[in-house]
Amino acid sequence: MLRKSHCKNKKIIIGVTGGIAAYKIPQLVRLLKKEGAEVQVVLTEAAKTFVTPETLAVLSEKPALSQFFKSNQGEWNNHVHLGLWADAIIIAPAGANTLAKMAHGLCDNLLMSVILSARCPLFVAPAMDLDMWLHPSTQSNVNTLQQRGVHIIEPTEGELASGLSGKGRMAEPEDLFQGLEQHFQPTENFFLNKRVLITAGGTQEAIDPVRFIGNHSTGKMGFAIAEQLVNLGATVELVYGSVTQTPPIGCHHHHTLSAIEMKTKCEELFPTCDVLIMAAAVADYHIKDVAQEKIKKSSDSLTLELVKNPDILKELSDHKKPNQITIGFALETNNEEFHALEKLQKKNLHCIVLNSLQNPQAGFAKDTNEVTVFCNDGSSFNIPAQEKSKVAESLLNNLSKWLTKQNPS
């Protein structure tokens, strides 16, 4: 049986700019149409020197657009509508001029206004002479676009229109099509039917019956992950300490307070779990002798002796079975990456999720977070600052992909 294309029924805008590689775009239109995609071509004036709008219109079964106005009666091609209509936009070929305009937000033609109005993923297939490609300004523009999340489909090496040979040829239409196919491929859901133990909130270490040592964790980050795990079809064992939120529905809830209580509960649950994610802020020390009665303020100073708590994550991770996954969080204030990588290694983890208190949009009690995940194969990925629910979604999608790659079934 033939596999259904992931591009089927997707709405795709192909933005064609001036360059010899434009002559290959009819082939890309054909491939996408054959696989059931809806294709709208938008081309620049310069592109028309290399490929005719008529050819593109016939193959896409839609007028190929280049002007803001359809006729001199004032009917216009609504660029905002086009930008919002598309599931993906691919600029191919993208010359140095268009890359520069995109990087700097210039808007002097229909295609640029469609790009600026778009909310969908953007793909760019650069094509130019090798020195133009290597020029620091082009490379800096490509970097800027990449940092904004634009997918760059790298040019390939070979003979160029100038007669020179090197990097600068637009990727072949089949490769552009594959890039879109991969993008629309549903992401792997590693967590479906998995049993996941997640911790959230802060621990409290009693001083006496009325006081404790605690921290600022509210449980927002851990709860957001637990909720998303439920959405992904996992069975979720949620162990939480001191929190300010109501735990999400759909999980098995286990409330604990001290680090020792949290450890006991985690030890009970972990043997039957596939994955452990420790988002809780666990106290490193507890009071050696907890007073049985309320301590009276009889003296001017009070000394409390603290004793080290067990490291829950390290102990569970050191004793995990070969198929169990352990993921920790690292909350840092300085030398963040160094400390996170040290914890990844010392605690024997698959991944560590770094958040830094240096970042005003990250950490304790905030509604937002920004994290960088470091994996034990040396790879890493960043999730930019956004609502904790969105961070949780993106974190689990990325972990899902990484874990599926590590543990192919």
Minimum Å gap between C-beta 245 and ligand PMT is 9
Stretch that binds ligand PMT, among 22-30, 156-164, 187-195, 214-222 (CB under 6 A): 214-222
Phi, psi of 248 (to 5 degrees): -65, 150
Choose which of 331, 373, 395, 403 interacts with ligand PMT (CB under 6 A): 331
Choose which of 64, 170, 226, 281 interacts with ligand PMT (CB under 6 A): 281
- Of 282, 278, 276, nearest to 320 by C-alpha is 276
What's the distance, CA 374 to chain centroid? 13
Cα 219 from Cα 202, distance rounded (Å)? 7
Of residues 285-314, those binding ligand PMT (CB under 6 A): 309, 311-313
**254 close to 269: Cβ distance less than 8 angstroms:** yes
Is 145 or 279 the residue whose CB approaches ligand PMT more closely?
Answer: 279
Stretch that binds ligand PMT, among 8-16, 44-52, 248-256, 358-366 (CB under 6 A): 358-366
What DSSP element (H or E) covers 94?
strand 88-94
Minimum Å gap between C-beta 58 and ligand PMT is 55
CA dist 174 to 15, 50, 127, Å? 17, 20, 15
Q: Does 363 bind ligand PMT (CB under 6 A)?
A: yes
* Ramachandran class of 2: left when φ > 0, alpha when ψ lies in -120 to 50, beta otherwise: beta
Minimum Å gap between C-beta 210 and ligand PMT is 24
Catalytically active residues are 215
Is 93 or 201 the residue whose CB approaches ligand PMT more closely?
Answer: 201
The tokens describing 94, both together, are 């993208």
* Eight-class DSSP state of 49: G
Cα 250 from Cα 266, distance rounded (Å)? 19
Choose which of 355, 368, 394, 397 interacts with ligand PMT (CB under 6 A): 355
Site mask for ligand PMT (CB under 6 A), range 234-263, x = bound: -------------------------x----
Is 94 or 353 the residue whose CB approaches ligand PMT more closely?
Answer: 353
Of residues 216-235, those binding ligand PMT (CB under 6 A): 217-222
Q: Residue 406, SS3?
A: helix
Minimum Å gap between C-beta 214 and ligand PMT is 12
* Eight-class DSSP state of 14: E
Is 95 or 247 the residue whose CB approaches ligand PMT more closely?
Answer: 247
The site for ligand PMT, by CB under 6 A, has a size of 27
The tokens describing 220, both together, are 């927002």
DSSP per position, 149-217: TPEE---EEEE-TTS-EEEEEPPPHHHHHHHHHHHHSPPP-TTTT-EEEEEESB--EESSSS-EE----
Minimum Å gap between C-beta 384 and ligand PMT is 15
Minimum Å gap between C-beta 109 and ligand PMT is 45
Is 109 or 217 the residue whose CB approaches ligand PMT more closely?
Answer: 217
Q: What is the binding site for ligand PMT (CB under 6 A)?
A: 201, 217-222, 259, 278-282, 284, 309, 311-313, 328-331, 343, 355, 363-365
